[in-house]
């Protein structure tokens, strides 16, 4: 496994990949600098830089997801939420064919192993509140504002 620490506007992001796919992307508090010459990690860093500069709306990286079938279904559907748009947890539950499972959808959303690239930050509550975010509401708001600013 290859690990790289990427400095972003929202903090340090740890990127993990094997030779075939991206495995994890997490915000971390550590200051240790790790770098890797893995081509998938290099592509992820390049695409993240473009995203934070407002030049990229879609990511094109191979992903390898470890989780339950339900979680994988949620994570796959998250990738269908357009850049700059939001949907509710209830809408996401309906989209995957489990309309009453919005709490389970919220739990799966919170366990998303590849933040930003799988845009779990685009899911909000039915009443329009931001809901939760594994890395805090300040970062969720930053990501949503970044995307909305690019659409103007």
Structural contact between residues 141 and 121, judged by C-beta atoms closer than 8 angstroms? no
How far apart (Å, rounded) are the C-alpha atoms in residues 126 and 99? 13
pLDDT in tens, 115-148: 999 999 999 998 988 888 888 999 999 999 999 9
pLDDT in tens, 94-107: 999 999 999 999 99
45 is catalytic: no
pTM for the model: 0.88
pLDDT in tens, 35-91: 788 999 999 999 999 999 999 999 999 999 999 999 999 999 999 999 999 999 999
Structural contact between residues 92 and 103, judged by C-beta atoms closer than 8 angstroms? no
- Extract the tokens encoding 21: 């796919």
Q: Which of 13, 120, 139, 144 is catalytic?
A: 120
* Assigned CATH for 69-151: 1.10.10.10
- Extract the tokens encoding 125: 């509550």
Range of lowest pLDDT (12-16, 17-21, 27-31, 145-149): 27-31
The reported pLDDT for the residue numbered 23 is: 96
């Amino acid at each position: 496994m290859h690990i790289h620490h990427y400095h972003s506007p929202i903090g340090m992001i740890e990127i993990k990949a094997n030779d075939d796919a991206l495995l994890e992307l997490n915000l971390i508090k550590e200051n240790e600098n790790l770098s890797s010459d893995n081509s998938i990690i290099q592509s992820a860093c390049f695409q993240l830089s473009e995203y934070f500069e407002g030049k990229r709306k879609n990511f094109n990286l191979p992903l390898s997801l470890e989780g339950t079938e339900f979680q994988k279904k949620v994570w796959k559907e998250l990738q269908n939420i357009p850049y700059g748009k939001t949907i509710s947890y209830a809408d996401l539950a309906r989209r995957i064919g489990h309309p009453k499972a919005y709490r389970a959808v919220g739990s799966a959303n919170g366990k998303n192993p590849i933040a930003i690239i799988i845009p779990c930050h685009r899911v909000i509550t039915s009443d329009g509140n931001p809901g939760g975010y594994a890395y805090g509401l300040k970062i969720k708001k930053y990501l949503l504002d970044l995307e909305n600013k690019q659409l103007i």
